[in-house]
A and B are shown apart, each in its own frame.
Chain A
Amino acid sequence: MSTEPVTEQRQAEWAERAVRESAAGQPDDPGTPYAGREQQVLARIERARRRRPVVREERITLAHGSGGKATHTLIDAVFLEAFRNPLLAPLEDGATLSLGTARAVFTTDSFVVNPLFFPGGDIGDLAVNGTVNDLAVCGARPLYLSAGFILEEGFPVADLRRITASMSAAAKAAGVSIVTGDTKVVERGKADGCYITTAGVGLIDRPALGPPPEGSPGLSISGARPGDAVVVSGPIGEHGAAIMVARGEFEIEADLASDTAPLHDLVAALLDALPTQVRTMRDATRGGVATILNEVATGSEVAVVVEETAVPVRAEVTGVCELLGIDPLYVACEGRFVAVVDGAYADRALQALHGHPLGRGAAVIGRVVADPAGLVLLKTTFGGTRIVDLLVGDPLPRIC
């Protein structure tokens, strides 16, 4: 390697600082035999991962909206920090509230998808189904929704009509009413057409999901335990793949439609069959199934082992993902959920799901084991093992 006279040389201050900050508080234990060193490094990394996350960036980047690591960090370090309370802290898909004698679930979601209209749906049914699904996977019967619109100056009223028509149809299909709303308009260029925020309320009217003595511990992301089975309600990644193709940036043609659908009925079928044996459910949106599995692993302090060959993925989705170098496990769905159920009831869960049109493609994709806690492991089709981590950065911004 030749050397080159260097005129001016600088230090990367931020990097030196990051190294110092991280080194403070974790002394390296020297003098250990080589064989065990990798293990020690792995243990050190786990400790580092458990520390409170800090937002290092000075500004919001697109990665903060990805649903992956940066989003989790932002939620933890900024939102949870500011709003901390016992109802928010579990970071479930919705908050479970006691209103008098009733137990209700309250949730909200914003939609910025690009394009607004895509095969299989549009931002309107997405906004209704997204909130309906968040309520459903918390065990609630969805009842009432709100809808807030942020519109860009110049947005065609005909498009808005199309959106509200599909919202109305989706609400009807889900058995909910949109009972309150709000409208704001911003100058041209300050938003991209139309953004929608919905919030929803639902009732938990299953005694089995209530507090003890009648009820189980309820649905909770911390409820998974070794021996449980992991179920997905259908083939994954269709929404994300359809959006990618619809954007037309990749010059790919594929026969794909979004899977957007209301899941309350399917969830009810599962809870009817397994009143107390479902540990947790989440609908797999941004960040895909992989993100939920990671939330289960960290939330319940368990390992999740997934069999790649068991994961249902349509050939078109595999094809698009292969071309773009994206793993379908990370691709968004809008009409699929992941459930962790008592392992002994896995077959009964599948039976219940298969009996519903939206659950025909349901499959057991993996199981919960004790060790190594906090990790999601994938047995690959090829026969090897690897980790499935939270995604860093955003392969596809504005997917929902």
Chain B
Amino acid sequence: MRFVDEYRDAGMARALAAEIAARCEPGRRYTFMEVCGGHTHTIYKHGLEDYLPETVTLAHGPGCPVCVIPMGRVDDAVHIAEQPGVILTSFGDMMRVPGGRGSFFDAKAAGADIRMVYSPLDALKIARANPDRRVVFMAIGFETTAPSTAMTVLRAAAEGLDNFSVFCSHVLIIPAIKAILDSPDMRLDGFIGPGHVSTVIGCEPYEFIAREYGKPLVVAGFEPLDILQSIHLLLGQLAGGRAEVENQYARVVPWHGNRVALEAIGKVMRLRPHFEWRGLGFIADSALGMADEYAAFDAERIFDLPGIRVADPKACQCGEVLKGVLKPWECKVFGTACTPETPIGTCMVSSEGACAAYYDFGRFSRERVREATRS
């Protein structure tokens, strides 16, 4: 795994940290949002904040696939799983996301047949192996995972499988970023753009952020050095009075995106007029549903869903955390009522969620630890 190590080199990190510090204007504070949960995870997992000057703050964004799933949607999925003959398949991360009546794990323990899969193709395999059962795939994620869901549906259609469907809960990154930009609490100086999503959509869709909102955005890779480098680039733009879209992750992200993937999405899915996001409420044109041509694979049309909206618990501040307005620990129930073991909010579930990442990796006082670990 040598190819990873070169992006985790402590010596290079120290050099970059010095350059970052040098680029910071004295007395000025900077807040950058990493939009993607994968970045949040990397930042905490490697202790990246140790390299940043105190004046640079990272705000964690909404790009964690399970964090944005509202409780009512979980309840609907559980309802599907409880129908006779149904096997519900889902990514592992989704299993512990709480709904109004509990999580997939709770439903599974109570007798529903819910299975973890690593890709939608695994769900298809289960459908082929169980022709007498109805196999539903809980499809979540941003543009990163939507293409594989779409291709799976195309494959199922080509094979003529009639016992496979998708509970489509894919969401889009641009409307979420726009919602944050339009939010009155916005105090961001720039964005660390999502690497994986951008492999699909490319860099062009972000241009309005620079043009209309005057904020720089750097699409970044997922290794810790990638993130430090993008912060360096963001500071460079700010110092030069520029606001542009830059691509730090050019080794993977093509500027124009992946046409094949986008076409698959366009064929199988359609834009929903609105969709509820956990903590953020309804956002217009922010999610994908199944296209009419593929209604036969649409779990929403196959099953009669209760579709009941479950209000977020009053104490829950996931919305503020997803918008980067609050640090995870500023939520009133953080670490007491809401822990990774018994999550109340979604940000506490996946290791890409800001609350879980902070709780699992960053829950300590840096000053005290610096004392303790001085060698």
Contacts and interface: CB of A to CB of B under 8 A. Distances in A.
Interface string B332-375: 11111111111010000000000000011111111011011100
A19 B313 contact: yes
Contacts of A28: 332
Nearest to A319: B1
B279 to A, nearest CB: 11
A41 to B, nearest CB: 5
Given A10-B310, A19-B313, A372-B365, 18 more contacts: A18-B344, A19-B314, A22-B333, A38-B327, A42-B329, A45-B336, A48-B335, A48-B336, A48-B339, A61-B106, A250-B118, A369-B373, A381-B46, A383-B10, A384-B50, A384-B51, A386-B361, A389-B363
B341 A377 contact: no
Interface in B48-81: 48-51, 71
Contacts of B341: 69-70, 73, 392
A314 to B, nearest CB: 11
Given A380-B45, A380-B46, A59 B274 contact: no
Contact of A372 (B109, B182, B310, B369): B369
A26 B10 CA distance: 41
B105 interface: yes
Nearest to B96: A393
Interface residues of B, number: 80
Nearest to B316: A15
Interface in B104-147: 105-106, 108-110, 118
B34 to A, nearest CB: 15
* Closest CB pairs A-B (n = 9): A384-B47, A45-B335, A22-B337, A383-B10, A59-B109, A15-B313, A4-B282, A382-B46, A386-B361
Interface string B67-100: 0000100000000000000000000100110111
B262 interface: no
A372 B314 contact: no
A21 B336 CA distance: 10
Contacts of B45: 380, 386
A389 B340 CA distance: 11
A339 interface: no
Interface string A312-337: 00010011001000000000000000
Contacts of B361: 386-387, 389
Given A60-B109, A249-B118, A385 B280 contact: no
A182 interface: no
Nearest to A303: B372
Contacts of A4: 274, 276, 282
A183 interface: no
A257 to B, nearest CB: 19
B250 interface: no
B214 interface: no
B308 interface: yes
**Which of A4, A61, A315, A392 lies at the interface centre, i.e. has the most chain B CB atoms within 10 A of its CB?**
A392
A10 B49 CA distance: 40
A57 B224 contact: no
Contact of A16 (B95, B313, B330): B313
6 contacts: A3-B281, A4-B282, A8-B308, A15-B316, A382-B47, A382-B225
A8 to B, nearest CB: 5
Contacts of A22: 333, 336-337
Contacts of A48: 335-336, 339
Nearest to A64: B109
A87 B214 CA distance: 67
A18 B344 CA distance: 8
Interface string A53-84: 00011111111000001100100000000000
A12 interface: yes
A32 interface: no
Contact of B373 (A6, A249, A379): A379
A305 B309 contact: no
A26 B332 CA distance: 11
A11 interface: yes
A12 B95 CA distance: 18
B315 A19 contact: yes
A220 to B, nearest CB: 23
Interface in A21-52: 21-23, 26, 28, 37-39, 41-42, 44-45, 48
Interface of A: 1-4, 6-16, 18-19, 21-23, 26, 28, 37-39, 41-42, 44-45, 48, 56-63, 69-70, 73, 249-250, 303, 305, 315, 318-319, 322, 369-372, 375, 377-387, 389, 392-393, 395
B105 A384 contact: no
Nearest to B284: A2
Contact of B281 (A1, A7, A369, A386): A1
**Which of B4, B95, B108, B364 lies at the interface centre, i.e. has the most chain A CB atoms within 10 A of its CB?**
B364
A59 to B, nearest CB: 4
**Which of B47, B99, B312, B366 lies at the interface centre, i.e. has the most chain A CB atoms within 10 A of its CB?**
B47
A376 to B, nearest CB: 10
Contacts of B366: 385
A262 B330 CA distance: 48
Contact of B310 (A12, A371, A382): A12
A45 B363 contact: yes
Nearest to A371: B372
Nearest to B280: A1
Contacts of A44: 335-336
Contacts of B10: 381-383
Given A9-B309, A249-B118, A383 B13 contact: yes
A18 B337 contact: yes
A63 B341 CA distance: 9
B254 interface: no
B11 to A, nearest CB: 8
Contact of B336 (A13, A26, A58, A303): A26
Given A41-B329, A69-B341, A384 B109 contact: no
Contact of A21 (B337, B364, B373): B337
Nearest to A41: B329
A370 B369 CA distance: 10
Contacts of A371: 368, 371-372
B305 interface: no
